[in-house]
């Protein structure tokens, strides 16, 4: 059966009927932590902490069911980031009119905390839109990476959510490129999520346009070491997570998180700011060290700067979160009308 196209264009221009009513996709997308200390805008890991999105093609309209993190704060219309991502993916193949959609989103990834919530939403939307299409017109993996990275501005969060594991990314005149790398099984993350937010735009705005050459050179060496520490030599994880490029400049916007990193690194633990913060990520070496790290964080509330924020007591969620190894997971089915 030929695909339903709209006449009058030399390029592919599909009707919403290309997606049959009753088609449903379920997307499970992992959180991510970017930068990892010195790997600013170039490294990220995928975390086994997931948002879920279920999208069903309906006759007409846009219906939303939202639950979990941020459910009371995000729009329930075409301005929702997931819908924007779906629309962007469809326009890339020539489907310009949104079909009728029922969307059910269950969010675990906290917003504005440095765990890739916006990147996960983009990956979920683009992946769902692509899976709803007939196989013969779907975007390939590289096109998905380009669209997701273009919407996010860089691939350091979207690539781990797409591919899982540690991902090293870079851009050139031909687009974005990402290399997934297995993480050594001894590396076990801990995340400490505070109950305050730092918008990514604010955090990025604190970084100067230029840094001393000596600091940049030293940071490049630590970033190279970090890649080896995470993949093959976990004994170097503490040295590999030392950053000279961005965390110190952002500290004023997240003083409790910066103080917690200082406390943990003072004890020899590989602590960093996760993404743009304010979540703190710690790479433990084995279960025993992970348990010790969690105890330190849970008892850090007595520290004068770690335990308070803007004059109030600060609460931290402390979670052992494993490295996700699969990236985004997608299932497609046809349901009865």
Task: Find out whether 265 is annotated in a ligand binding site.
Answer: no
Task: Find out whether 102 is annotated in a ligand binding site.
Answer: no
Task: Find out whether 118 is annotated in a ligand binding site.
Answer: yes
Whole-number Å distance between alpha carbons of 290 and 282: 9
Whole-number Å distance between alpha carbons of 121 and 85: 8
Under 8 Å CB-to-CB from 182, ≥6 apart: which residues?
165, 166, 231, 325
Task: Find out whether 114 is annotated in a ligand binding site.
Answer: yes
Task: Find out whether 111 is annotated in a ligand binding site.
Answer: yes
Task: Find out whether 117 is annotated in a ligand binding site.
Answer: yes
**Residues in a beta bridge with 178:** 169
b/e string for 27-53 if b means 16 or more Cβ within 10 A?
Answer: bbbbbbbbbbbbbbbbbbbbbebbbbb
Task: Find out whether 15 is annotated in a ligand binding site.
Answer: no
Residue 155 phi/psi, 5-degree rounding, is -95, 5
Which residue reads 């109030």 in tokens? Answer: 312
Within 13 Å, how many C-alpha atoms sit on residue 15's CB side?
10
Q: Are strands 187-194 and 270-273 parallel, antiparallel or unpaired?
A: unpaired
Task: Find out whether 13 is annotated in a ligand binding site.
Answer: no
Whole-number Å distance between alpha carbons of 29 and 215: 35
Give the annotated binding-site residues: 110-120
Give the annotated binding-site residues for ATP: 110-120
């Amino acid at each position: 059966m030929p695909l339903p196209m709209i006449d009058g264009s030399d390029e592919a221009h599909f009707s919403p009927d290309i997606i049959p009513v009753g088609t449903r996709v379920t997307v499970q997308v992992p959180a991510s932590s970017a930068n990892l200390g010195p790997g600013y805008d170039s490294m990220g890991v995928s975390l086994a902490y997931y948002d879920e999105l279920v999208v069903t093609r309906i006759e007409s309209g846009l219906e939303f069911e939202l639950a979990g993190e941020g459910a009371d704060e995000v729009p329930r219309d075409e301005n929702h980031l997931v819908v924007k991502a779906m629309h962007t993916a469809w326009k890339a193949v020539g489907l310009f009119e949104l079909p009728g959609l029922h969307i059910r989103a269950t969010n675990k990834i906290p917003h504005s905390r440095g765990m890739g919530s916006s990147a996960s939403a983009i990956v979920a939307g683009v992946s769902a839109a692509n899976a709803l299409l007939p196989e013969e017109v779907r975007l390939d993996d590289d096109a998905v990476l380009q669209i997701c990275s273009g919407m996010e501005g860089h691939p350091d969060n979207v690539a781990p959510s797409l591919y899982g594991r540690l991902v090293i990314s870079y851009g050139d005149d031909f687009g974005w490129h990402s290399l997934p790398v297995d993480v050594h099984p001894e590396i076990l993350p801990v995340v400490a999520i505070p109950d305050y937010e730092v918008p990514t735009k604010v955090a990025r705005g604190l970084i100067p346009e230029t840094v001393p050459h000596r600091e940049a050179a030293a940071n490049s060496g630590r970033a190279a070491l970090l890649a080896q520490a995470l993949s093959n030599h976990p004994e170097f994880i503490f040295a590999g997570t030392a950053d000279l490029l961005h965390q110190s400049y952002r500290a004023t916007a997240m003083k409790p998180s910066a103080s917690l990193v200082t406390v943990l690194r003072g004890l020899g633990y590989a602590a960093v700011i996760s993404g743009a913060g304010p979540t703190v990520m710690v790479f433990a070496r084995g279960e025993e060290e992970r348990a010790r790290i969690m105890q330190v964080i849970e008892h850090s509330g007595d520290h004068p700067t770690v335990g308070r924020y803007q004059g109030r007591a600060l609460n931290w969620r402390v979670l052992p979160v494993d490295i996700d190894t699969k990236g985004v997971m997608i299932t497609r089915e046809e349901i009865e009308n």
